[in-house]
Structure 1
Amino acid sequence: MPRTVAGAVADAGIVVIAVPFGAVPDVAGALADLPEKTVVVDAGNYVPVLRDATIDELDNGGTESAWTAQRLGRPVIKAFNTITAAHLASLSRPAGAPDRLALPVAGDDPAATARVRALVDAAGFDPVDAGTLADSWRQQPGTPVYTADLDAAGVRAALETATPEHTAEWRARIAHTATGRTS
């Protein structure tokens, strides 16, 4: 039976938002009446030029998930953004499997992040605490953890070595690719 977005998420305990950044403000209205206990997961990534309109706040060093939380008018947990959809569907493994991959989870509410870590685990991946939402820049596109398919130790190491320049350099490369510039 067809339902609106608001109707589909009305009773959800966790809602995962995985839309292009330009659609985040459109989703905000559908989430306006969610109960406070509903955890909202930001699984999106800002991809300027190729997919998303330019957002100066992000291009000048802002954190994607903080921007999303502001647009939604509620806290978010950052997770599921560092793995491709194909790998999310095909690379899950049972807990304890030697080849089990890990995913970072960042957020400010300990209870909400615990719920999302449990969801990551149930999805077949080891959850790794990636700090607060302000720290979630460490898992943005271009950083060492982004689409790297790492185990838990690898995710921790990648988060530790991330720099803001990783994201800036990645954005510059995709802009050059999209515009055909080679310099």
Structure 2
Amino acid sequence: MGTDDESIRVVGILGAGRVGLVLARLAVNAGYRVLVAGSGDPARIAAPVATLGPAATAVQASVVAREADAVVLALPLPRYRDLPVEALRGTLVIDAMNYWWEVDGLRDDLADLRTSTSETVRGFLAGSRVVKAFNHMGYRDLEDEARPSGAPGRKAIAIAGDDAADLAVVAGLVDAFGFDPVIAGPLAEGIKLEPGAEAFGADVDADQLRAMLDRFPASQRGRMVARARRIRPDAAG
């Protein structure tokens, strides 16, 4: 694999758990320089990051924000409020996080069906260019299913965002990482990729993934979202 996207040379990963390290490995395999930050001292994650090869380096989160051309958020979602807002201003930020109420607790800010969690993250990261991607496929499938472009049975990753140019860049990353990109729509449509939606957990090809996204409005989750979005407090009175 490899990439011809000259706009992205350095990929930053905020989060050194299972998802973060798998995405870091995919980025290294695609030919990118990769900066990985966990929580706290980079020495704590130096050993697992070293297994990715010389193109990957364990660093502070501030270094990721300063030096990466695109930053992937692979943190527990409630930690989005710890992100360096000013340092990420103007940066392409790829939100791979999910809301797990069993682990994260019941959170009104993350469970509100009137908005996607990525829109909530974007609202906090004023000035960042947020695109949803890499959240709906399990980390084992991400690690095992990467294939060169055009390979039979290649699986797909859906992405959602409001800016066409940013979507094109992230689509290029998805392709370089080993998957067919599928545009889900604007960032609000990222709710179709969250837990509770049919596409969440999907390990399927592009046609199957598009069909899942198309079926969302008629699904139970889709109807719940539609009801929530028809009644907005700011529309009352």
TM-score of the alignment, normalized to the shorter chain, above 0.5? yes
Instruction: Give the 3-state SS of the residue equivalent to 1:130 in structure 2.
Output: strand
Contact 1:22 1:53 in 2 (8 A): no
Deviates more, 1:123-132 or 1:137-146: 137-146
> Which residue is 1:59 aligned to?
111
Q: What's the CA shift for 1:9?
A: 3.0
Answer yes or no: is 1:127 the counterpart of 2:187. Answer: no
Greater strand fraction, Structure 1 or Structure 2: 2
Deviates more, 1:4-13 or 1:77-86: 4-13
1:47 to 93, 100, 109: 100
> Which residue is 1:95 aligned to?
149
Aligned length: 165
Contact 1:20 1:51 in 2 (8 A): no
Q: Tell me: CA distance 1:140–1:168, structure 2 relative to 1, closer, same or farther (3 Å).
A: farther
Q: What's the CA shift for 1:58?
A: 3.6
> Which residue is 2:88 aligned to?
34
TM-score (norm 2): 0.65
Instruction: Give the 3-state SS of the residue equivalent to 1:144 in structure 2.
Output: coil
2:211 to 147, 157, 162: 157
**Aligned alpha-carbon RMSD (Å):** 2.0
CA distance in structure 1 between the partners assigned to 2:205 and 2:120 by the alignment: 28
> Which residue is 1:166 aligned to?
221
> Which residue is 1:136 aligned to?
190
Contact 2:156 2:204 in 1 (8 A): yes
Q: What's the CA shift for 1:68?
A: 1.1
Taking only the aligned residue pairs, the percentage that are identical comes to 37
Contact 2:160 2:185 in 1 (8 A): yes
CA distance in structure 1 between the partners assigned to 2:117 and 2:125 by the alignment: 12
CA distance in structure 1 between the partners assigned to 2:97 and 2:168 by the alignment: 20
Contact 2:175 2:181 in 1 (8 A): yes
Structure 1: which 5+ residue stretches go unaligned?
170-183
Q: Which of structures 1 and 2 has the bigger CA Rg? A: 2
Answer yes or no: is 1:70 the counterpart of 2:119. Answer: no
What stretches of structure 1 move > 6 A for 4+ residues in a row? none
TM-score (norm 1): 0.82
